[in-house]
Amino acid sequence: MGTALVATVAVAALHAVGAKQIHNFAGPWDAWLERADMCNANADDERIQVKFSHYNPNKKFVPQTWSGFANLSREMDDSWWVKAPLAIRSNNQWKENAFVFYFPTKGCSNGRDIAPACLKPFFTKAGTPCLIKQQVIQFRNTTMKLEFPKVPHLVYGHYRLELSAGPKNEKSEYCVNAIVHIIPKV
Ligand SMILES: *[C@@H]1O[C@H](CO)[C@@H](O)[C@H](O)[C@H]1NC(C)=O
Ligand SMILES: *[C@@H]1O[C@H](CO)[C@@H](O)[C@H](O)[C@H]1NC(C)=O
């Protein structure tokens, strides 16, 4: 299934499931990141450590900067799966699986397809076999403009994202929890 289709289905599904409880609207969107942590930080997995600059609601047009690193210790190709369930904050509770992006295979290509321009350099070029090679990516107050042309509409809200990925028939190699805010595009 194409990425854009998955997103459209996700938005439609969220409306269907949450229409009563979630008084949010969908539309053109921007995202800002509150925090991100490795799911297994307690298990001494510290391969991804990224902090985001403070988001200024009075300067919504200023993209956040990232500081830290991502130690991608194992290369990722199209045999990988990627899963990204999103919980949405509603009535002071997390509503789990408000929608779910799931690519059972071709995780790399689907990621490359959906990734914002600032993350594309870490993938091989479109049209070539997809690979994210083993590398340590450094972010030094790096401006990261999070634009996702393939996902034009999302439901506005306060989300908890659990992004995980792993090779075929294996459990997750990487897993990151993030708190993300989806707001109307400025
Ligand atoms: C990256 O992670 C691997 C596996 O945990 C580790 O062996 C390696 O030392 C790490 N590299 C850096 C630069 O932190
Ligand atoms: C980070 O970058 C922004 C603009 O790109 C700049 O205003 C700010 O001073 C920088 N912060 C640090 C700690 O270098």
Within 8 A by CB and 6+ apart from 137, the residues are: 69, 70, 72, 122
d(CA 148, CA 3): 11
Strand 93-103 and strand 81-90: pairing?
A: antiparallel
Give the angle 111-115-116 at the CA atoms, nearest 5°: 175
pLDDT tops 80 at residue 20: no
Query: Which of 47, 133, 134 best tests ligand 1's pocket when mutated (most atoms within 8 Å of CB)?
Result: 47
For 104, half-sphere exposure in the C-beta direction (CA atoms, 13 angstrom radius) is 1
Cβ pair 40, 48 in contact under 8 A:
no
Give the model confidence (pLDDT) of 77-123 as tens digits.
999 999 999 999 999 999 999 989 999 999 999 999 999 999 999 99
Give the model confidence (pLDDT) of 30-80 as tens digits.
999 999 999 986 678 899 999 999 999 999 999 999 999 999 999 999 999
Q: Please name every residue paired with 139 in a beta bridge, in sequence order, or none if there are none.
A: 68
d(CA 181, CA 3): 21
CA of 38 to the centre of ligand 1 (A): 14
CA of 55 to the centre of ligand 2 (A): 13
d(CA 170, CA 155): 32
If one counts every other C-beta atom within 10 angstroms of the C-beta of residue 35, the result is 11
Categorize the per-residue pLDDT at 11 as very low, low, confident or very high, splitting at 50, 70 and 90.
Answer: low
Atom 5 (ligand 2) nearest CA: 143
pTM of the model: 0.86
Higher local confidence (pLDDT), 135 or 1 = 135
d(CA 92, CA 85): 19
- The amino acid at 10: A
Please report the pLDDT score of residue 24 as a whole number: 64
d(CA 65, CA 130): 27
